Structure 1
Amino acid sequence: MRPGLLDGDTGPEPRPQAESVAADLGLAAVIEAMAGGDPVIAETARVVLLAMPPSAEHIAYRQQVLTDCVREPGLARELYDLAGRAVEVHENASRAVFFATPETLLNQSIGTLTAFLQLLRELRALAERYRTRVSSAGFQQFFTMVETQFGEEYVSSAAAWLGGLGPGGTLLVSARLGAGHQSEALVMRRPHRSARSLFRRAGRASGPSATYKIPYGDEAAHRALSSLQDMSLAGLADAVHRSAQHVLAFFTALRTETAFHLGSLNLRQALQERGAPVGLPDVRDAESRVLHARGLYDPGLQLRLDEPVVANDLDADGKSLIMVTGANRGGKSTFLRSLGLAQLMADAGTFVGATAFTTSARSGVFTHFTRDEDDSRTSGKFDEELRRISQVADGISPYGLLLCNESFQSTNEREGSGIARRIVDAMTDAGVTVVFVTHLHELAQGCYEDALPARFLRADRDRSFRLHEAAPEASSHGADLWSRRHGLRED
């Protein structure tokens, strides 16, 4: 049983190059805000944000659930806390077991299931309270499942069975003699109402009976009886344990799925407290190839500042390439991170840092950012760049989004531009959307002159951190370095 509040597996497959993507985009700041100090929410947010993205239909499903959570903020918190209590019950019961025997496993599972039944009653009451206050298909299906699967008849019947299995109950086991007069084919039987002892010969309640009393101090007899008891309880203990694990899996999945929605609410509140706009994106089918934004900003940067950060607009519908050029420290890398984070968050079905954001469902987000020189590497920086782009090529697929930040700057202009152009052409021909921040003027100018289906953006030297549509111009990289080196004022 799965709650279905994420409309998918709660242990999804991670996307290729997930760790590189998280590091390049500064995802840690977003996850920290989502977690609000809760490690379970932090881990859940990381897993879901870096998972292979679902379809546009599934993203809309998650957004509808999240919309209900915004409307009823107490719902996600109550579900998360209730599921957390269930997991805590299991963890406490597991810590209390020092010797794993069928008897201890049986008693642990009985205690755990008994506590679970009470929590299921609370869950059913919660469902009854919120049923008419939500409208999403996810919550409606979840509440229906709770009411049908965990009705009072089921809970009461399960409680009665557990009561009969506990220390105050009676267990009846049948067996036959096998080779060497050893017991075999042990089967648990429904006990007679008048039964009083642990082991009793199957037959009529009023039939003959026999008892055997172990003499005091007969250790061999006690060991034999203990072994017989373990054999008798093994099957029952395993069955009750599997039942407890089944219910635990349901509560664990419920905690995971509500953790992500609760984290989304935490992120929304953190950004709104800083005066930043937050909204749910419009995610369309992959074939639509749309990509435009208003007021797009980097939420990771915004979370580190108290004043609103600079935002940018983007119109790139139908474009397979976005080329960004211009001055150093002009906001190009920040724009790249803002776009990558927006796509990651949109794919996960949560809020994005923008006034409005419309995009296609992607097969994944990939990054190729310049890295600092590592003295421990046995190969050069250029070789390392080629190795990483090869790994990206192995994992990316049509409808993917590739973000390149100053790639192939470690070689000369002509060689770097030539390699980058071949990669851009191969990726865009394969249906990948490429966003390329670069100082390689030969690359940018060549793409512009060839009239590719591209959008060209430029950051000016006024440090406004706003990008505007403009043709590439000769790189100011060298001039910027010279000015910083000699302390010259920029005009």
Structure 2
Amino acid sequence: MRVRLLSPDHQLDLDADPPWPAPDLVVDLQLDPVLDAMADGDALIRRVATQVLLAPLNAPGSIVYRQEVAADCEQREDVVRRLYVVAGEALESLRHLYPGFLRRTPEMVVRDSTEVIATLLPHLRVVADVATAALAGSLPSQSRHGSGLHRLFTDLVTELDDACFADLDTQLRRLAFPGGMVVGKRLGTGLAGVGDVLHPPAKQHLVDRLGLGDHPSLSFELAARDEAGSQLLSDLRDRALVPLAPAASQAQEDVKSFFRGLRTELAFYLGCLNLRRQLTEAGGVTCRPDLAPPGTGQWNAHGLYDPGLLLRHPTATAVGNDLEADDRAAVVLTGANSGGKSTFLRAVGVATLMAQSGMFVCGSDWTSSVRSGIFTHFVREEDATMASGRLDDELVRLRRIVVALRPDGLVLLNETLASTNESEAADLGVEAVDGLVAAGVQVVLVTHQYALAAKLGGGPDRLFLRAGRADDGRRTFQLLPGPPLRTSFADDLYARMGPWPEDSARGPAGGPAGGSPGPGAADDPSPVSP
């Protein structure tokens, strides 16, 4: 039985490392709060969520497949959680078994395999009962019979019926060989017995085995300390069980694989349920995204916010932003310092990952073309491990992204090339952005450098958004269409860091005389409202 909840074609390989640039995405997009919320204290859920979220799909059909499973899981959360617990209990029960490792003879393989199946059989019955009860309920996609969850329930009810369990019970009793083994041979060269064949216990009647039937037979008993005879008898059993051992081993592995796959794949959807619950409790809205085929140029969203920020400040209210970027190859974010530009950039990146992983998106609505890959290039602090300067490090990381990119990819640049002077940054930045756009890659850039923003131009394929600022210096955290300004209002930050004795008479911009913070200022400004 295959679970097939994440994909109709393959199962998740939990041991595989997430592809690059997974480590950069976790750091740059600040995904830890999201992953922690999905896990809700469960280490397996966090591991699975990390694996799935950092390996987004690039086929609209596969994404819709997961969305339908997620919708059914939300409708029957009780069933999903019950199956997850049962699968965990089944795998936990195997920890009490002690299979032999030093000498894996066919007899030991058959014995250990039957013990595993017998241990898992009660849990398999529970799974079948849960599936039967779930099919009697309602699922959003049940009418079209297309959901992976509905298909799983149907397969379980069909395959794990009463006849299946009766047959399993019978086979387990036989493989225990309660009446001994019946092995047939034929005479070979030198009257040696060859061609060992294991017969079912019913092959020989009891009276025949005792020598009381119509056909005379011979028998013997091993002496209590006949080690050589015991070894010969053991070898005889092993030879008879050689054809049976691989089948028994594969059968127990199939049952274990089913429970592992069931628990692993349900873990992702439980993570989605956990995350949605915590976001809803914090006042965040979510939506099911619409994904179009790659290259269609669709990209717009409303009320988009960064879930990580809301999870870190659950008592605040998220400030959502809109994005109308259909057929725009580059989106440039400028404006006031601490105005929410980097947060919005992270919101775009997280939403893209969540949408293409089959999850919901944090916003009122989301429509976009499917990306072939998602890459981030955020500013890094210089540290002792760097073999060269920050500019060299930035260029090396940019080159790695360019090598890995494919058409219809998405690159998020946050204060890229800020480590050099404004003139050089403008020349390098324009060359990088224009090159990416020419290669069919969509770019979202945050910059405080006016020269770079101005040189990027204002053609029909460019969208400029500017962080809002009230007249009193208060940040609105709204990004609205607008050309770049020559100032990023650093005076506002200067005022918030006061009071400064030398400025006590004039009152710095954004604050009253004496350097005290102006209205709306905060020690840690972020696009959430208290």
TM-score under structure 2 length normalisation: 0.84
Counterpart residue number, 1:366: 375
Q: Which residue type is aligned with residue 302 of structure 1?
A: L
**Contact preservation (8 Å) 2:174, 2:201:** no
Q: 2:432 aligns with which of 411, 423, 431?
A: 423
Counterpart-to-counterpart distance in 1, 2:109 and 2:416:
58
Q: Does 1:83 align with 2:87?
A: yes
Q: Does 1:35 align with 2:43?
A: no
Q: 2:199 aligns with which of 164, 171, 189?
A: 189
Deviation at 1:6, TM superposition (A): 1.9
Question: Aligned ranges for residues 331-346 of structure 1 at < 5 Å?
Answer: 331-346=340-355
Q: Does 1:326 align with 2:326?
A: no
Change (3 A) 1:179 1:29: farther
Change (3 A) 1:190 1:54: farther
SS of the residue corresponding to residue 295 of structure 2 reads helix
Q: Which residue type is aligned with residue 291 of structure 2?
A: V
Counterpart residue number, 1:158: 168
**Contact preservation (8 Å) 1:332, 1:459:** yes
Q: Which residue type is aligned with residue 80 of structure 1?
A: Y
Provide structure 1 residue ranges, at least 5 long, that are not aligned to the other structure: none
Q: Does 1:303 align with 2:329?
A: no
Question: Aligned ranges for residues 83-122 of structure 1 at < 5 Å?
Answer: 83-93=87-97, 95=98, 97=100, 99-102=102-105, 103-122=107-126
Counterpart residue number, 2:516: none
Q: Which residue type is aligned with residue 482 of structure 2?
A: A
Change (3 A) 1:397 1:37: same
55-64 or 214-223, larger mean C-alpha shift: 214-223
The alignment yields a C-alpha RMSD, in angstroms, of 2.9
**Contact preservation (8 Å) 2:414, 2:446:** yes
Deviation at 1:54, TM superposition (A): 3.9
Q: Does 1:210 align with 2:218?
A: yes
**Contact preservation (8 Å) 1:400, 1:432:** yes
SS of the residue corresponding to residue 286 of structure 1 reads coil
Counterpart residue number, 1:133: 138
Counterpart residue number, 1:283: 291
Deviation at 1:99, TM superposition (A): 4.9
Deviation at 1:46, TM superposition (A): 0.8
SS of the residue corresponding to residue 198 of structure 2 reads strand
Q: Does 1:438 align with 2:447?
A: yes
Counterpart-to-counterpart distance in 2, 1:293 and 1:303:
21
SS of the residue corresponding to residue 404 of structure 1 reads strand
**Contact preservation (8 Å) 1:297, 1:312:** yes
433-442 or 117-126, larger mean C-alpha shift: 117-126
Q: 1:468 aligns with which of 459, 480, 490?
A: 480
Deviation at 1:287, TM superposition (A): 3.0
Counterpart-to-counterpart distance in 1, 2:163 and 2:491:
79
Q: Which residue type is aligned with residue 278 of structure 1?
A: T
Task: For CA contacts below 8 A with separation 6 or more, give which structure has more relative contact order.
Answer: 1
Deviation at 1:277, TM superposition (A): 1.2
Change (3 A) 1:400 1:206: farther
SS of the residue corresponding to residue 351 of structure 1 reads coil
Counterpart-to-counterpart distance in 1, 2:297 and 2:95:
47
SS of the residue corresponding to residue 158 of structure 2 reads helix
Counterpart-to-counterpart distance in 2, 1:220 and 1:183:
18
**Contact preservation (8 Å) 2:491, 2:509:** no
Q: 1:490 aligns with which of 509, 515, 524?
A: 509
**Contact preservation (8 Å) 1:53, 1:364:** no
Deviation at 1:479, TM superposition (A): 5.6
28-37 or 169-178, larger mean C-alpha shift: 169-178
Deviation at 1:165, TM superposition (A): 0.4
Q: 1:292 aligns with which of 296, 300, 308?
A: 300
Deviation at 1:188, TM superposition (A): 2.8
424-433 or 30-39, larger mean C-alpha shift: 424-433
Counterpart-to-counterpart distance in 2, 1:276 and 1:265:
14
Counterpart-to-counterpart distance in 2, 1:321 and 1:186:
74
Question: Aligned ranges for residues 439-458 of structure 1 at < 5 Å?
Answer: 439-449=448-458, 451-458=459-466
Change (3 A) 1:219 1:332: same
Q: Does 1:242 align with 2:245?
A: no
Change (3 A) 1:312 1:146: same
Counterpart-to-counterpart distance in 2, 1:273 and 1:100:
56
Q: Which residue type is aligned with residue 234 of structure 2?
A: S
| CA deviation string 1:328-370 (max 9, x = no partner) | 2211111111111111111111122112222222222110111
Q: Which residue type is aligned with residue 222 of structure 2?
A: I
SS of the residue corresponding to residue 456 of structure 2 reads helix
Counterpart-to-counterpart distance in 2, 1:179 and 1:267:
72
Deviation at 1:380, TM superposition (A): 1.7
Counterpart residue number, 1:312: 321
Deviation at 1:485, TM superposition (A): 7.6
**Contact preservation (8 Å) 1:165, 1:171:** no
**Contact preservation (8 Å) 1:326, 1:476:** yes
**Contact preservation (8 Å) 2:179, 2:201:** no
**Contact preservation (8 Å) 2:290, 2:366:** yes
Change (3 A) 1:208 1:409: farther
Deviation at 1:224, TM superposition (A): 3.6
Counterpart-to-counterpart distance in 2, 1:176 and 1:480:
97
Q: Which residue type is aligned with residue 468 of structure 1?
A: L
Change (3 A) 1:92 1:238: farther
Counterpart-to-counterpart distance in 2, 1:455 and 1:265:
35
Q: Does 1:49 align with 2:57?
A: no
Counterpart-to-counterpart distance in 2, 1:360 and 1:154:
46
Deviation at 1:219, TM superposition (A): 2.8
Change (3 A) 1:157 1:490: same
State the number of aligned residues.
Answer: 486
**Contact preservation (8 Å) 2:299, 2:368:** yes
Question: Aligned ranges for residues 247-258 of structure 1 at < 5 Å?
Answer: 247-258=255-266
Deviation at 1:117, TM superposition (A): 3.2
TM-score under structure 1 length normalisation: 0.90
Counterpart residue number, 1:142: 152
Change (3 A) 1:205 1:405: farther
Counterpart-to-counterpart distance in 2, 1:281 and 1:160:
50
Counterpart-to-counterpart distance in 2, 1:187 and 1:282:
61
SS of the residue corresponding to residue 465 of structure 1 reads strand
Counterpart residue number, 1:273: 281
**Contact preservation (8 Å) 1:164, 1:170:** no
**Contact preservation (8 Å) 1:89, 1:112:** no
Counterpart-to-counterpart distance in 2, 1:369 and 1:308:
26
SS of the residue corresponding to residue 202 of structure 2 reads coil
| CA deviation string 1:127-147 (max 9, x = no partner) | 221214114222232222222
**Contact preservation (8 Å) 2:183, 2:198:** yes
